[in-house]
């Protein structure tokens, strides 16, 4: 019972993040302009570069959330070890690695400690997704082999 509540809660959080992320991307040109005016001159001076980095990163983030939502559906259906989850993890690793690259580019025009942390976090996330996709692939192979022997 407790596990079902956690699964439902996680699904709701993923849905909220997914749809609010879309709103953030649409509002990004306006909010970034405001940040340049009221927060930091560096943002205003590098507006278009920052917009490209943040917009592309946001889109990759939304792709990651979309893949997590797909994977969550397999958890809800109690069928986690499927090839679609392997594909989702591979897509998430590419998206995470892409976010790392985008923020590496950002270091050259607005370097901040937070940028370095974001690079590291998303690089680790990419590695995590690659390893987990290998684990899922192996589990699916074992499951299919086991299904054939029964």
Tell me, letter by letter, the H, E, C secondary structure of the chain.
Answer: CHHHHHHHHHHHHHHHHHHHHHHHHHHHHHHHHHHHHHCCHHHHHCHHHHHHHHHHHHHHHHHHHHHHHHHHHHHHCCCCCCHHHHHHHHHHHHHHHHHHHHHHHHHCCCCCHHHHHHHHHHHHHHHHHHHHHHHHHHHHHHHHHHHHHC
User: Cα separation of 95 and 65, whole Å?
Assistant: 10
Local confidence band at 1 (pLDDT 50, 70, 90 cut-offs): low
pTM: 0.91
94 neighbors 122 (Cβ within 8 angstroms): no
Local confidence band at 150 (pLDDT 50, 70, 90 cut-offs): low
Structure confidence at residue 86 (pLDDT): 97
pLDDT at residue 59 greater than cutoff 70: yes
pLDDT at residue 80 greater than cutoff 80: yes
Local confidence band at 122 (pLDDT 50, 70, 90 cut-offs): very high
Q: Kindly report the average pLDDT of the chain as a whole number.
A: 94
Local confidence band at 145 (pLDDT 50, 70, 90 cut-offs): confident
Q: List C-alpha distances in Å: 123 to 53, 68, 95, 129, 145.
A: 16, 18, 10, 10, 33
pLDDT at residue 43 greater than cutoff 70: yes
């Amino acid at each position: 019972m407790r596990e079902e509540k956690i699964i439902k809660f996680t699904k709701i959080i993923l849905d909220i993040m997914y749809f609010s992320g879309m709103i953030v991307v649409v509002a990004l040109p306006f909010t970034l302009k405001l940040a340049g005016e009221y927060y930091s001159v560096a943002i205003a001076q590098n507006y278009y570069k920052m917009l490209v980095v943040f917009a592309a990163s946001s889109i990759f983030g939304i792709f990651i959330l979309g893949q997590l939502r797909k994977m969550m559906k397999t958890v809800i259906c109690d069928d986690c070890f499927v090839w679609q989850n392997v594909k989702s993890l591979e897509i998430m690793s590419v998206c995470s690695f892409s976010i790392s690259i985008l923020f590496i580019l950002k270091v050259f025009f607005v370097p901040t400690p937070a940028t370095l942390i974001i690079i590291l976090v998303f690089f680790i996330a990419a590695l995590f997704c690659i390893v987990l996709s290998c684990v899922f692939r192996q589990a699916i192979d074992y499951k299919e082999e086991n299904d054939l022997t029964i």
